Amino acid sequence: MKSAEARLRAASQTLALIGFAGLLGLAVMTSLDVLLRWLAGTPIQGVNDVSAVVMAVVISACIPANLAMKQNISVEVFGSLAGGGRAESALTAFASLVTLIFIILVAWQFVPYAANLRTNGDRTWVLAWQVWPWWTAASVMMILAAVVQLVVFLADFAALVRGGNGPPEPEDDPAATDAHL
């Protein structure tokens, strides 16, 4: 199970890196568009089209890594009030379960949305790119995010069953840091 977690974490981090590269490319393209509008009065045609389709992919590419490394926002008031230990592990497992359900619901909505885009033949305005392949890629990444969160939930639940000692945080786990070298 540990090697599967490490592989998922490494794949998620690689996917996030690709997503951030896409975001950087989009930022460079937008900056060039603004610069060309200012200097030459000529915009780059289709920047809004590219932005519209790339943004969903870029965002969904980062979600699996966020979940794998438990970098989502959490409020740990109840765990500290309950005295830590088993109660804190129970709340952590419950939060992981709620997150899993939410990610599954989001992925469940992405898939039919991408299918509808394909059926309708939606295209971008200027470049006339088909939109569905981009949303299909985003859907695949959300499904990967659901798998990653399932692994996180199983680890949190296993920690609860073991007696309340949580799994090591990804930044404290040597396998996590070695996985992306």
54-83 per-position pLDDT tens digit = 999 999 999 999 999 998 877 776 666 666
- Residue-wise pLDDT for 89-143, tens only, equals 898 999 999 999 999 999 999 999 999 999 999 999 999 999 999 999 999 999 9
- Answer whether residue 174 is part of any domain: no
- Answer whether residue 132 is part of any domain: yes
One-letter amino acid of 16: A
Is residue 100 within 8 Å of residue 106, measured between CB atoms?
Answer: no
Name beta bridge partners: 123. 130
Structure-block tokens of residue 35:
């610069």
- Answer whether residue 106 is part of any domain: yes
Backbone region of residue 84 per phi and psi (left: phi > 0; alpha: psi in -120 to 50; beta: other values): left
- Residue-wise pLDDT for 160-178, tens only, equals 999 865 555 555 555 554 4
Tell me how far apart the alpha carbons of residues 74 and 162 are, in angstroms, rounded to a whole number: 23
- Answer whether residue 178 is part of any domain: no
Residues for the chain: how many in total? 181
Structural domain span for residue 9: 2-166
Q: How far is CA 89 from CA 67, 86, 142, 146, in A?
A: 17, 5, 26, 21
| Global confidence as pTM | 0.83
- Answer whether residue 173 is part of any domain: no
- Answer whether residue 129 is part of any domain: yes
- Answer whether residue 85 is part of any domain: yes
Q: Fill in the DSSP letter of residue 123.
A: B
Please state the domain count of the chain: 1
